[in-house]
Amino acid sequence: MTQITITTPDDWHLHFRDGDMLNETVPATARCFQRAVAMPNLVPPVTTADMVSEYKQRILAARPKDSTFEPVMTLFLTNNTSCQDIIDAKAAGALAAKLYPAGATTNSDAAVSALDGMFPVFEEMQKQGMLLLIHGEMTAHHIDIFDREKEFIDQNMTRIVSAFPHLKVVFEHITTKEAVEFVLAAGDNVAATITPQHLLLNRNDLLVGGVRPHYYCLPVLKRNIHQQALRSVVATGSKKFFLGTDSAPHEKDKKENACGCAGCYSAWSAIELYTQVFDELGALDKLEGFASHNGADFYGLPRNSTSITLVKEDWVIPAEVTLPNGNPIVPFFGGETCAWKIKD
C-alpha cells in the first residue's frame, strides 16, 4: 500500500508550553490534528478554572488563520485541589484532570505527593464525568528509573482503578509490557496513550554509542522487550490504546547540555512516524482506529468528519526549526528520513 486516507486524527496528550512558544507548537500540531489534549504543567501550573479558560484562549489565539483546531483542556492536580475545583474546572470546559507524581517530569514539583488524600477528588471526578489522566511512575529515589512504571502499577494504579470503577482513567504514555498487560486486563473504563518514540526506540537507541539528548524523555525509553510489547498491542487494533504523542518542546541549548531537559518535540513528524510504524508492522488497517477513533470514543467526543491522506514517499524531517524568539529547536527525528508524508 502506498497511500492511505484516514479520519483526521487527534493527539490525546501533548505539551504546547506557553507564551511565544505557542506560535510554534500550535500551528505545528494543527497541521494534521483536529484536537489535542493540552497538558497543564506550565509555570505556574493550570490549577484553577480561570487558568483553564485563560490558557485555552492563549492556545486559540495561536491557531493559524482559518484553522478549526480545538484544544482539549485539563486541570493540574495538587494536594490542595478541592472537589469544588473539579466542579468549577468542568464547568469551564476542562474534560480531564492530570495526576503527576511530584517530580515525575518537567514542571511537576507542585504535583501530588500524598495520593491517598486525592481519593475524595477522584470521587468527585467520577461524579462529574471528568477523566483522570495519570503519569504513572513512582518517583521515590530508591526506585530504579526503569522500574518506575511497574512500581506505580503495583502500588497505586491497581487500587485507584479498583476504588473508582466508573472513573475513566487514561494511563498516559505507557512504556512497559506490564502496563500493556494491566490495561488489557482492566475494565472498559481504562485506556492508554502511546507515543511515537516508545514505538520507534528503546534504551539502546538512547544510550549506545553516546547519549542522544533528543531521544531523552520521561518516562524514559525502556528495554527492547517493552518496545516490542507496545508495537504488538497497537498492531492488534485494540480499542483501549490510542495516539498521544507527548510532544514536549525544549530549546536546543536546554536539551544539549550537562543536564538536558526531558521531552521529544514530535509535532512536526508524529502522524507520519506513526504511519511508518504501522506500515512496518503490516497493520496499516489499524492506524485509523488508533489515531482517529479510539481516543474520541473513549473521551465520549464525536469522531472528526474530515480526513487526511498520507502517501508512501520519503522526506527529510527538518533538522531544526526556529522559535519566534529566534532560538532553535530540534524536532524528533530531525534531519532523518521518514517513509510517509501527508499528501499536499
In contact, 192 and 171? CB cutoff 8 Å: yes
pLDDT for 344 = 82
CB 75 within 8 A of CB 42: no
Q: Extract the C-alpha cell encoding 72.
A: 482539549
Strand 96-99 with 131-134, pairing: parallel
Over residues 170-228, the pLDDT tens digits come to 999 999 999 999 999 999 999 999 999 999 999 999 999 999 999 999 999 999 999 99
114 is in an annotated binding site: no
Q: Quote the pLDDT of residue 44.
A: 94
Tell me if 214 is assigned to a ligand binding site. no
For cell 516490542, the residue is 228
**Average pLDDT of the segment spanning 147-155:** 97
Cell numbers describing residue 115? 495520593
Arithmetic mean of pLDDT, 286-310:
98
116 is in an annotated binding site: no
Cis peptide bond prior to 101, omega within 30° of 0: no
Contact of 60 with 22, CB cutoff 8 Å = no
Residue 141 marked in a binding site: no
Question: CA-to-CA distance for 22 and 212, rounded, in angstroms?
Answer: 26
pLDDT digit string, tens, across residues 106-149: 666 677 878 999 999 999 999 999 999 999 999 889 999 999 99
Q: What percent of the chain has pLDDT over 90?
A: 94
Whether pLDDT at 103 is above 80: no
CB-based contact 190:171 (threshold 8 Å): yes
Q: Label the pairing between strands 35-38 and 11-14.
A: parallel
Sequence-ordered strand ranges (E) for the chain: 3-7, 11-14, 35-38, 70-72, 74-76, 96-99, 131-134, 169-171, 190-194, 241-243, 307-316, 321-322, 328-329, 337-342
pTM as predicted: 0.97
* 173 assigned binding-site residue: yes
Active site positions, annotated? 246
Q: How far apart are the first and last CA of the chain?
A: 18
Predicted local confidence at residue 36, as pLDDT: 98
Residues 295-322 have a mean pLDDT of: 98
Domains of the chain in sequence order = 10-306 (3.20.20.140)
Element (H, E) at 160: helix 158-163
The response to whether 135 counts as a known ligand-binding position is yes
**In the Cβ-directed half-sphere of 143, how many Cα atoms lie within 13 Å?**
15
Span 231-264, pLDDT tens digits: 999 999 999 999 999 999 999 999 999 999 999 9
Q: How many residues does the chain have?
A: 344
State the pLDDT confidence band at 102, using cuts at 50, 70 and 90: confident
Q: Is 98 annotated as a binding residue?
A: yes
Amino acid in position 85? D
Split at pLDDT 50, 70, 90, the class of 313 is very high
The amino acid occupying position 6 is I
